[in-house]
């Protein structure tokens, strides 16, 4: 009939191949000799360095099911039994494929291939996109879902990182003195408890600024803040990275020297701090003059180390230094032998 639609075999060969490329982008045509005469664009994309046309199909692909497939007639017979073909490339990457075969011509075949469950690996290995699949292929929808999931997971990872950074920043802010940037009392308590639980040895030094009130009263709080930040910088410069410097009051500081319990070395550090703090500090057109008194106790002097006891004993040694004339450093005397068993000692300075 003149008005009837043409059958596929009535289509010009070029139009038929174009239709196959669109509907089955991973197909190939094999002639009766077993050679590939045409392959879809996506199938060719999997081996961009090799022209598949002209290659023997069974030299490019290895069949894994059914087994013992050596010739194209074997493949045609397998298709006649409605067996699904399972294949893989003979060269790397040896991507697993599955396919169906339809006899074509006098002894050839049309073989349409797909990735099956290896689709995600294939997308990664060959950088495939939705344009490499037929528009009606459910793989396109799966790729969309995978991309959506990847985007959601990446957004989740970014949000998690941002929350983690915000958490760290909040914790850091909670443990930081806003004026000087040093640790605050809360951070000091946390660090001391952690060191004591780990049975680490350390020295604890309490430092108080002499004449600081005079600076505040005569030059104002801005001058006082300037002095505090300068003193904080001095303490950071005179201590190691592993040491702790904390501001625990208006002009009171605590230094914790990790693993350092040598009295001569502690005395040397105290002398340097006293000397540097006594250097006049310019403030606008005025000069701020202060000094520092320090008291130190050692964790190794206690049978049972408690943060409250060390802080109290360092404070007692500090006031002994002030009574000695200020700009002084004193060690807390170790408790008597009888008091060691109780983990307590007299709060007096040497």
Phi, psi of 149 (to 5 degrees): -65, -45
For the stretch 43-52, pLDDT in tens is: 999 999 999 9
For the stretch 220-262, pLDDT in tens is: 999 999 999 999 999 999 999 999 999 999 999 999 999 999 9
Instruction: Work out the burial of residue 313: count CB atoms within 10 Å of its CB; fewer than 13 is exposed, 13-18 middle, 19 or more buried.
Output: buried
Q: Looking at per-residue confidence, does 137 or 305 come out higher?
A: 305
Identify the band that residue 97 occupies on the pLDDT scale cut at 50, 70 and 90.
very high
Identify the band that residue 137 occupies on the pLDDT scale cut at 50, 70 and 90.
confident
The 3-state secondary structure of 1-24 reads CCCCCCCHHHCCHHHHHHHHHHHC
**Quick check: 350 pLDDT over 60?**
no
**Quick check: 284 pLDDT over 60?**
yes
Residue 103: other Cβ atoms inside 10 A:
13
Of 59-68, 72-81, 148-157, where does mean pLDDT reach its minimum?
72-81
Rounded CA-CA distance 53/44 in Å is: 9
Amino acid 343: pLDDT: 45
Instruction: Work out the burial of residue 222: count CB atoms within 10 Å of its CB; fewer than 13 is exposed, 13-18 middle, 19 or more buried.
Output: exposed
CB 301 within 8 A of CB 345: yes
Rounded CA-CA distance 233/180 in Å is: 8
Least Cα distance to 16 among 138, 120, 104, 139 occurs for 104
What's the predicted TM-score (pTM) here?
0.54
Considering 177, 208, 210, 251, which one is annotated as catalytic? 251
Least Cα distance to 310 among 201, 168, 184, 148 occurs for 201
Q: Tell me the percentage of the chain whose pLDDT exceeds 70.
A: 89
**Catalytic (active site) residue 315:** no
Report how far apart, in Å, the C-alpha atoms of 266 and of each of 210, 233, 242 are: 20, 19, 15
Residue 255: other Cβ atoms inside 10 A:
25
**Quick check: 288 pLDDT over 90?**
yes
Identify the band that residue 309 occupies on the pLDDT scale cut at 50, 70 and 90.
very high
CB 141 within 8 A of CB 119: no
């Amino acid at each position: 009939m003149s008005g009837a639609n043409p059958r596929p075999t009535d289509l010009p060969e070029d139009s038929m191949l174009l239709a196959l490329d669109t509907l089955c982008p991973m197909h190939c045509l094999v002639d009766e000799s077993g050679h590939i005469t045409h392959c879809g664009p996506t199938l060719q994309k999997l081996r961009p360095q090799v022209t598949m046309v002209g290659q023997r199909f069974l030299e490019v692909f290895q069949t894994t099911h059914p087994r013992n497939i050596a010739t194209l007639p074997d493949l045609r017979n397998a298709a006649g039994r409605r067996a699904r073909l399972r294949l893989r490339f003979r060269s790397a990457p040896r991507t697993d494929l599955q396919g169906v075969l339809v006899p074509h011509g006098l002894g050839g075949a049309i073989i349409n291939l797909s990735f099956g469950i290896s689709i995600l690996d294939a997308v990664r290995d060959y950088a495939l996109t939705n344009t490499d699949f037929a528009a009606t292929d459910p793989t396109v929808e799966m790729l969309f879902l995978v991309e959506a999931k990847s985007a959601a997971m990446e957004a989740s990872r970014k949000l998690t990182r941002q929350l983690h950074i915000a958490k760290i920043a909040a914790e850091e802010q909670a443990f930081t003195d806003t004026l000087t940037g040093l640790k605050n009392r809360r951070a000091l308590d946390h660090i001391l408890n952690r060191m004591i639980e780990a049975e680490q040895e350390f020295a604890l030094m309490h430092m108080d600024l002499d004449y600081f009130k005079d600076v505040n009263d005569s030059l104002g709080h801005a001058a006082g803040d300037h002095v505090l930040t300068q003193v904080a910088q001095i303490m950071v410069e005179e201590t190691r990275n592993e040491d702790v410097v904390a501001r625990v009051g208006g002009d009171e500081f605590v230094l914790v020297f990790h693993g350092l319990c040598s009295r001569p070395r502690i005395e040397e550090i105290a002398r340097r701090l006293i000397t540097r703090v006594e250097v006049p500090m310019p403030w606008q057109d005025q000069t701020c003059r202060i000094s520092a008194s320090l008291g130190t106790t050692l964790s190794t002097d206690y049978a049972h180390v408690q943060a409250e006891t060390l802080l109290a004993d360092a404070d007692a040694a500090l006031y002994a230094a002030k009574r000695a004339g200020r700009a002084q450093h004193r060690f807390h005397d170790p408790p008597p032998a009888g008091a060691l068993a109780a983990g307590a000692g007299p709060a007096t300075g040497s």
